[in-house]
Structure 1
Amino acid sequence: MTSAPPVDTREAALAALRELVGRPDADFHDGQYEAIEALVEGRRRALVVQRTGWGKSAVYFVATLLLRRQGAGPTVLVSPLLALMRDQIAAAERAGVRAVAINSTNAHEWSDVLAQLDRDEVDVLLVSPERLNNPAFREEQLPALVRRIGMLVVDEAHCISDWGHDFRPDYRRLRDLIAQMPADVPVLATTATANSRVVADVAEQLGSLTGATEGDEGMAPVLTIRGPLARTSLRLGVLRLRDSASRLAWLLSHLDDLPGSGIIYTLTVAAAVDTARLLRDHGHDVRAYTGQTDTEEREESEGMLKRNEVKALVATSALGMGFDKPDLGFVLHLGAPSSPVAYYQQVGRAGRASESADVLLLPGVEDRDIWHYFATASMPDRERAERVIGALGDAPISTPALEAMVDIRRTPLELLLKVLDVDGAVRRVQGGWVATGAPWSYDAERYERIAAERLAEQQHMIEYEQTDGCRMEFLQRSLDDDTAAPCGRCDNCAGGWFPREIGTAASTQAAESLDRVGVPIEPRRAWPTGADRLGVPLKGRISAGEQAGEGRALARLTDLGWGNSLREIFAPGASDVAVTPQLIQGCIRVLAGWGWAERPVAVVALPSRSRPLLVDSLARGLAEVGRLPYLGALEPVGGGPTGQPGGNSVFRLAGLWDRFSAEHLEVPEGPVLLIDDLVDSRWTMTVAARVLRQAGATDVLPLALALRG
C-alpha cells in the first residue's frame, strides 16, 4: 500500500483535527503530529506520555481516520472504564469517527455491533481489557478481528505495568494480543501518569513481545513521545487540619467558595456516602459516586456534573481515569491517595480547558491506616496460588465451585485467577477455569520489590504534603519529568490562596455527622453453594425460624468518625481491653434508635479468643444499662470455631456451623440481643443466631462494635 506524501498526510491530519475539536484555527500540540505520522506512515509502535488535556485521544482518532482512508481495518481501543468509553464515543462522533463498544453494560447490542463490524461500518471498537479473556470473545470474535485490525490503541497504558499506580492483571493480556498481530499494524499506548520505570516497562511490552528486537530487519524501536507534565492551569494547595470533623467543617464552610463544579475525592466508600449525605443535609447539591453505585446512577451523575447541575460529586477513585469535563473547576481530597502518581492522575481531571482550577488536599491522620487497610495489591500469595493451581485440572471448574474448594473469598480469588491466567498457569474457558500444566513459580523477589516501591510511594505522598517547595514541581519530579520547575501558583510559591477559618455552625454540624451511629447488618438468607462438599449438611434458603434479624454495628472500620477509635481497637497486635464508656454510650444510642418490633428480653455474647474481655465487658455493660439478664456467652464446641477470619463463605461456615452450643443457657422466649466485637463475613452471627433460635429465642438481634468494610 502506497502512503501519501508527508505534506499531504499533515494537511489531512490537520483537517481531521480541526473537525474533531470544532475550531478552524486549531493546530497540533508538540508531539501530536509526530505520533500520528509514526502510526500512519511508519506503522510503528508508539508510547505517548503527556499530561491530561494534551490531546492524546486526538492522536488516535485522527490516525484512525487516515488509516481507514488508506483501506485499513478498524482500530481496537482498549479502554479501562465505562465512563471513559462513553466520553471517547462522544468525542469520536464529533470527528465523524464511527465508534462502538463491547462491554458488560451493552450485551444486548453485541450482535448489532458484530454485524456492523462484518459490514465494515465501524472505525473504532472499544473493548475493556477483561473482554479480551472472555472465552466467547477470545475464541469467536477476536481471531477475525486480529486479521482485520488496522491499529491497536491501549489507553491508560500505565495499567499494563505492575509498577504503575493502577496495575490491572487483565492489561497484561495485551502482550498476547500484540504477539498475534502482524508487525506492520501500528500500536499506540497512551497515559498521563508514568514515571521512567513504567515507561520502560510499557515500551518493552509494546516492542519486544512479538519476539522481535530492535536489530531485527523491519522492526523499528518503540517511539516514546514524552512531554512536560506541568499543568499551568492548576493551583495546588495543602491544608492540614487536626481531624475529620475539622475537614468536614471546612468543607461545609467553603464548598460554595470553590470555583464552578468539581470532584471531592475520599479514600473509602463509607466516607464518600457519609460526606455526600452531610453536604446534602445542609443545602449543598452533591451526589455520592463509588464503585458500589449502580451503573445507571453513575452515568446520570456524570452527566449532571458535566452540565453543572450539581456542585460536586463526592467520589472514590471509581471516578478517575478518563472522566472528561474540560471546565472542571476544582478537585478536593478528603484524605490523600497513597502516591503522588495516583494524586497527579486524579487532580488531572481539573482545568483541562480553562485558565484556572483549584486543587486542594486535606490530608488526614488516618490516611496511613487506610492505605494499610487497602494494601491488597495484585500480587499473588504463594500458598494461595499453589492451592488454586492444585485444585484445578483439565475439566473446567466455575469460580463459585472453585471457591468451595479453596478457602479464598470471591473477589481476591477472581483477582488471583487473573494473575495466574496472565502468568500462564491457568486458563479461562467455557464453563470455568482449567490448569494449563505449565510450570509456575512464585517470583518472591519481584513481589518484594513491588511492595517496597508501594511503601516508598506512600512516603513520597507524605513528603508532598510536608514540602515547602513547589508542589507542581514535586509532582513532576515524582513522574521523572526533567522539565520540572516552580509553578509560581501553588500555596508554597504564591502563598495560601484558600481560607482557613471554619464557621462555628459548620463545626457543630460536622461533629454531629461524624458522631452518627448505627450501621445495618443485613442478615444472611441462604446457605452458600457447595457447603455439603465440606461436610456441612445445609443448603438452600435459611429457614425463617432459624434466621437472625437485621442487626446493627456501632460503625464501619473505615468510617471517618467512630472508625478512628475502632481501628485502634482492632489493629494487629492491639491488647484486649475492656470496652470504654464512650463506646458503651455509642452502643446505647444505637439501641435507642434501632426501632425493633419487640424489645430484647436477654443478652448473650459470642465467645472470643482474641478479645474476650472486650466482648464480655460490652455485653455486661449493655445488659446492665438495659436492665436485661446477661445469660453469658455461647459455649464453644470442640475447641470453638476453626479457620481464620477473611476466608470465603463455604470455609467460614464449615469452621462454624457445629461449633457453638446454647445448652448451658436458659434462653427465654423472646428476642435476644447477640453481642460481638467485629462483623466480617456475617457467618458467625448467622450460625450463632440459628443456635439461639433452636434454643427458644423468637428472634436474634446482632449488635457489634464494628463492621468491616
Structure 2
Amino acid sequence: MSTRERAQELLADLAGPSAVLRDDQWTAIEALVVHKRRALVVQRTGWGKSAVYFIAARMLREQGLGPTVIVSPLLALMRNQVAAAEHAGVTAATINSGNVTEWDDVHARVAAGELDVLLVSPERLNNPDFRDQVLPSLSADAGLVVVDEAHCVSDWGHDFRPDYRRIRSLIAELRDGVPVLATTATANDRVVADVAAQLGVGGADTEVLRGGLGRDSLHLAVVRIPDPTARLAWLADRLESLPGSGIVYSLTVAGATDLAALLAERGVAVAAYTGQTDPTEREAAEQDLLANRVKALVATSALGMGFDKPDLGFVVHVGAPSSPISYYQQVGRAGRATERAEVILLPGPEDREIWSYFASVAFPREHVVRRVLEVLDTERPQSTPALEPLVELGRTRLEMVLKVLDVDGAVRRVKGGWLSTGAEWTYDRERYERLDAARAAEQQAMLDYQTTDECRMAFLRRQLDDPSLTGDADVDRCGKCDNCTGTPLSADVDAETVDRTRTRLDRPGLDLAPRKQWPTGLAKVGVSLSGRITDGPEPGRVLGRLTDPVWGPRLRALVDGDDGPAPDALEQACIAVLAGWTWAERPTGVVVMETSRPVLMEDLGDRLARVGRLAPLGVLRRRPDARPVSGANSAFRVASLVDAFDTPDLTAHDGPVLLLDLLTDTGWTTTVAARALRAAGADAVLPFVLAARA
C-alpha cells in the first residue's frame, strides 16, 4: 500500500467511507510524513486541517516516531479534537484548565508512551511543572508539533495570546527533522508573515498551502435597526424560522445573558455560553447544540475557534465585532456541511463604545510596565495576586503584561509566582502605536462592511488577502449575499412584538451580589483587611445596566447629562424595584451616596423616603483629605476608599439602611461605604444603585 493510499484509508476512518483525500491535503500530509518538512496551512474553515494533522500523527506513529503535540487554544476545540482523534484510531488526551483532576494521569501516559496525540493549551507551556518535567521529554520524543489557530501567535491577529509566543521555545528545542505544522483559517498577509517568523515555519524548506477563502454555503446579510429594542424584537420574531440550529453572538457577557433570558421567555430553546459559564455547563451546552436540543447558543467569543458542528444552520451577530477578520472566523462556524446557512449581522450604534472599552484594556503605557519590573524580585517569587496591590493594573491586564515580559525574557514564571531576570527590556512604543493604528483601521473596515454595496463575501476575503481573488468585482461575487442577490432582509418589525419586548426589557431591577472577599495584598498599600468580608452590605439591587437596550440610553442620559431633579419615570421605576425586593428585613432609613449628580440623587432619595416612609439619614460624603480614587485594581481602589467617608451617627437608628448610589462598576465603593455605615451604627445596609456599567 502506498503512503497516499494509507492516508486515504485513515481519512475514511476519520470522516466516513465517502470522504476523498484532496490533492492539497495530501500535499500537506506528504510534506510532514514523507519529507519531515515544516508546513504553514492557511485554509478556510471546513477545508479539513484537523484531518491533515490527525492522519499525519497516526502515520508518524506507525513509523515508530513519538506522539504529536497539538497546541490548541479553546476547550471546545480540544473536546472536539479528542473525539475526532478516536474516529481515526488515534489515542489522544488533553491538558487544559477544564480537566485539572486528570493532569497527573495524562503526564504518566505521556511518560509511558501511551499517547499518540497530546493536546495542550498554550498557557500550559509555561506552567513550571509542565515546562520543567513534561515538556523536555515531549521536545525530545515528539514526532510532530502542530500549532492550531496559529494567528494567535501574531500581534496582528484578531486573537493575539502572549502564551502562543512560547511555542517558539518548544520548536527551538526539537531535534532535527521533526516536522512542524501551523494552521489557521483567518490570517491576512501581515499575519502570515508574522506567524512564519515567530514559529520558524517560513523559508525555502517550508510547504505553504494557502487557498481561497470563499464559502459557497454562506448567505451573508446585514440588517440595520438603530433602535436596540426593535433589533432584539426582530431577532425574537425570526430566530425560529432560521434553518436548523445555530449561534447568536453578543459582544458582552451581560448582553449574552440578557438576550438568552429574553429568548427563553419567548419560548425559544436557547442557552447562554460565555467566558463566565462554568466549564461543565459549557460542555453540556455544546452537546445540546451538537444534538440540536437547543435552537441556539447565545454566546460571546468564548464559543469560537474550532467548535465543529458541520450542519450549523446559522450565525447571527447582535452587535458587530471590531474586526472583519474575527467576524469571518466566527461566521465560519456555519454551513460546513450544508448547502445553505444564514449569516446575519445586526449592528448597533453602541458597538463603538464596546470596541473602545476593549481597546482601553490593551497593553498599557511604558511607565505602568516599568513599575511591574521595579516591584519584581530576582530571587523571591511573587504571585500575581501579591503583585496586584503594588502596581496600577487589574488582575487580567497584569497577567497579560507578565506573560509578554516573560516572552521577552524580562521575567520568568517559577513555582510560587514570577521573578525578574534582570535582563534589559525595551518598550516597543512604535510597535504598539502601529497596533493601535491597525485596530482603528479594522474597526473602520467593519463599519464599511455594514454599508458596502459590493459583494459581502468578497469584502471579507479581501480583508484576509485571499490569494484566489481576481480583482474583477463581477468574477469575485459570491452570488449569495444580500447585495449580490439584490434581496436585502427586511428591517421591519412587528409593532406588537416590539411592545412586548420593550415591556420585558422595561422591567427594571437586577441583582447586585455583594463582594465576599477582600483583595489580597491590602497590607502592602497600608490597609489591614484580609479574608472574608463580614461587615459589608447585604445583597442589593440595580435599576439597570448602561448596556441595556431599553434602560441603557435612559441611564446614560442620567449619568452623563446635566444634573437636575429626578424624573417622575425614574421614581416610578425605583418604586417598582423596591416593591419587588425580597429582603429579609425592610429598610427603615435611606442614605444617599455623594455622586457627580447631587441634585438628582438627593431629590430621588427624598422622594423614596417619603413614599417608603423611610427616615432620611443624609448624604454619605467623601472627606476632603481622602486620597484620590484609583480604578487600577481592587487593592488600590479599596485603599482609596477605606476611611474616606464622613459617616453620620446611626447608633440611634433602628433597622436596615437603604444606600442609594448612582453607578456601580467593581462593587468596592458599595462594599466599603456599607462597612463605614455599619461601623456608624447601621444594623444592615441594602445597596440600591441606579446603573451598572456592564
TM-score category of the 2 structures, normalised to the smaller one: over 0.9
Instruction: Give the conservation status (yes or no) of the 8 Å contact 1:531–1:537.
Output: yes
Q: Secondary structure at the match of 2:221?
A: strand
Q: Does 1:654 align with 2:639?
A: yes
CA distance in 1, matches of 2:380, 2:48: 48
Q: Summarize deviations over 1:247-287 as a string: whole Å, max 9, x none.
A: 11112211111001111111111111111111111211111
Residue matched to 1:19: 13
Q: CA deviation at 1:383?
A: 2.1
Post-superposition offset of 1:377: 5.0
Deviations 1:79-105 (A, max 9, x none): 001110010011111111111111122
Q: Deviations over 1:171-206 (max 9, x none)?
A: 111112111112411111111111111011001122
1:224 counterpart residue number: 208
CA shift at 1:647, angstroms?
2.6
1:528 to 519, 530, 534: 519
1:203 touches 1:222 (CA, 8 Å); kept in 2? no
After superposing the two structures, state which structure 1 stretch, 610-619 or 466-475, moved more. Answer: 610-619
Letter of the structure 1 residue corresponding to residue 527 of structure 2? V
**Aligned match of 2:296:** 312
Q: Distance in 2 between matches of 1:98 and 1:378?
A: 39
Matched, 1:56 2:49: yes
- CA–CA distance in 2 between the matches of 1:569 and 1:170? 42
Equivalent pair of 2:361/2:397 in contact (CA under 8 Å)? no
Query: After the TM superposition, which residues 377-526 of structure 1 pair with which residues of structure 2 at under 5 Å, given as runs?
Result: 378-393=362-377, 394-484=379-469, 485-496=476-487, 498=489, 500-526=491-517
Structure 1 position 580, deviation (Å): 4.3
* Other-structure match for 1:344: 328
Please identify runs of 4+ aligned residues in structure 1 that moved more than 6 A: 664-667
What is the DSSP-based 3-state SS (H/G/I as helix, E as strand, rest coil) of the residue aligned with 2:249?
strand
Ranges in structure 1 where 5+ consecutive residues have no aligned partner: 1-6, 215-219
Query: TM-score, normalized by length of structure 2?
Result: 0.95
2:2 is aligned with 1:8: yes
1:357: how far off?
A: 0.7
Matched residue type, 1:465: Q
Given that residues 211 and 467 in structure 2 are in contact (C-alpha distance below 8 angstroms), is that contact kept between their aligned partners in structure 1?
A: no
Q: 2:104 aligns with which of 106, 111, 114?
A: 111
Return the match for 1:591 from 569, 575, 578.
578
CA distance in 2, matches of 1:567, 1:89: 47
1:465-524 superposed Cα distances (whole Å, 9 cap, x missing partner):
101111111110111114231000111111336454433432222112221321222223
In the alignment, the residues of structure 2 paired with residue 119 and residue 670 of structure 1 have an alpha-carbon distance, to the nearest angstrom, of 66
1:180 equivalent among 173, 184, 189 = 173
CA shift, 1:381, in A, is: 2.8
- Secondary structure of the residue aligned to 1:698 is coil
Aligned to 2:472: none
Other-structure match for 1:556: 545
Aligned mates of 2:457, 2:603 — CA distance in 1: 51
Q: Matched residue of 1:670: which SS?
A: coil
Q: Distance in 2 between matches of 1:681 and 1:156?
A: 33
Over 3 Å counting, the alpha-carbon distance change for 1:588 and 1:87 in structure 2 is: same
Cα deviation per residue 1:93-119 (whole Å; 9 max; x = unaligned)? 111111111112223222322232233
Question: Higher mean Cα deviation, 304-313 or 555-564?
Answer: 555-564
- Of 63, 85, 95, 1:70 maps to 63
- Asked whether the equivalents of residues 271 and 560 of structure 1 are also in contact (C-alpha less than 8 Å), the reply is no
Relative to structure 1, the CA distance from residue 500 to residue 662 in structure 2 (aligned partners, 3 Å threshold; closer, same or farther) is closer
The code of the aligned residue for 2:554 comes to: S
Letter in 1 for 2:679: Q
Candidates 200, 208, 211, aligned match of 1:207: 200
CA distance in 2, matches of 1:438, 1:579: 58
Q: Map Cα deviations across residues 528-551 of structure 1 (whole Å, 9 max, x no partner).
A: 3332332223333334xx331111
> Residue 329 in 1 paired to residue 322 in 2?
no
Secondary structure of the structure 1 residue equivalent to 2:543: strand
Identity of aligned residues (%): 58
Which one-letter code corresponds to 1:630 in the other structure?
P
Of 126-135 and 178-187, the range deviating more from structure 2: 178-187
| In 2: Cα distance, 1:415 partner to 1:513 partner | 39
Amino acid at match of 1:472: M
Partner amino acid for 1:622? Answer: L
C-alpha change, 1:414 and 1:611, in structure 2 (3 Å) is: farther
In the TM superposition, residue 587 of structure 1 has moved relative to its aligned partner by 2.4
Segments of 5+ residues of structure 2 without an aligned counterpart are 470-475
Separation (CA, whole Å) in 2 of partners of 1:617 and 1:31 = 71
Residue of structure 1 equivalent to 2:22: 29
- Please point out which of 121, 124, 135 is paired with 1:142: 135
Superposed CA deviations along residues 589-636 of structure 1, whole A, max 9, x for unmatched, are 22222222333222212223x444444344344335445443321243
- Do structure 1's residue 631 and structure 2's residue 617 form an aligned pair? yes
**Is this contact kept in 2: 1:169–1:378, CA < 8 A?**
no
What is the CA RMSD across the aligned residues, in angstroms? 2.1
SS of 1:223 mapped into structure 2: strand
CA distance in structure 2 between the aligned counterparts of 1:147 and 1:195, rounded to whole angstroms = 33
Q: Are the aligned partners of 2:589 and 2:609 in contact in 1 as well (CA < 8 Å)?
A: yes
CA distance in 2, matches of 1:675, 1:461: 40
Aligned-partner SS, 2:683: strand
| 1:440-480 Cα distance to aligned partner (Å, 9 max, x none) | 12111110110111111111111111011111111101111
Aligned partners of 1:374 and 1:590: how far apart in 2? 31
Distance in 1 of aligned mates of 2:253 and 2:565: 30
Q: Which residue in the other structure is 2:626 paired with?
A: 640
Determine if the alignment matches structure 1 residue 547 to structure 2 residue 533.
Answer: no
Q: 1:414, CA displacement in angstroms?
A: 1.4
Seen in structure 2, the aligned counterparts of structure 1 residues 625 and 121 have a Cα distance that, compared at 3 Å, is same
Matches of 1:650 and 1:14 in 2, distance apart? 59
Tell me: CA distance 1:668–1:693, structure 2 relative to 1, closer, same or farther (3 Å).
same
Q: 1:40 aligns with which of 23, 33, 38?
A: 33
**Counterpart Cα distance in 2 of 1:102 and 1:553:** 40
1:674 aligns with 2:659: yes
Q: How many residues align?
A: 687
Note the alpha carbon deviations across 1:138-172, whole angstroms, 9 max, x for none. 00110111000111100011100010011111111
Per-residue CA distance 1:278-322 (angstroms, 9 max, x = gap): 111121111111111111111111111111111111111111111
Q: Mean Cα displacement is larger for which, 160-169 or 667-676?
A: 667-676
Looking at structure 2, the residues matched to 424 and 45 of structure 1 have their Cα atoms a distance apart, in angstroms, of 26
Distance 2:10 2:585 in 1: 70
Residue type at the aligned position of 2:514:
P
One-letter code aligned to 2:86: E
Q: Measure, in 2, the Cα distance between the counterparts of 1:503 and 1:52.
A: 36
Aligned-partner residue type, residue 432 of structure 1 = G
Tell me the SS of whatever aligns to 1:152. strand
* Residues 376, 418 of structure 2: 8 Å contact kept: yes
What SS does structure 1 have at the residue aligned with 2:214? coil
Instruction: Name the stretch that deviates more: 135-144 or 12-21.
Output: 12-21
Question: Which residue of 1 is the match for residue 157 of structure 2?
Answer: 164
Identify the match of residue 604 of structure 1 among 591, 614, 617: 591
Task: Return the offset for 1:577.
Answer: 5.7
What SS does the aligned partner of 1:374 have? Answer: helix
Structure 1 residues 411 and 578, CA gap change in structure 2 (3 angstroms): farther
Report deviation, 1:376.
Answer: 4.0
CA–CA separation in structure 2 for the residues paired with 1:664 and 1:467: 63
Hey, what does 2:286 align to over in structure 1?
302
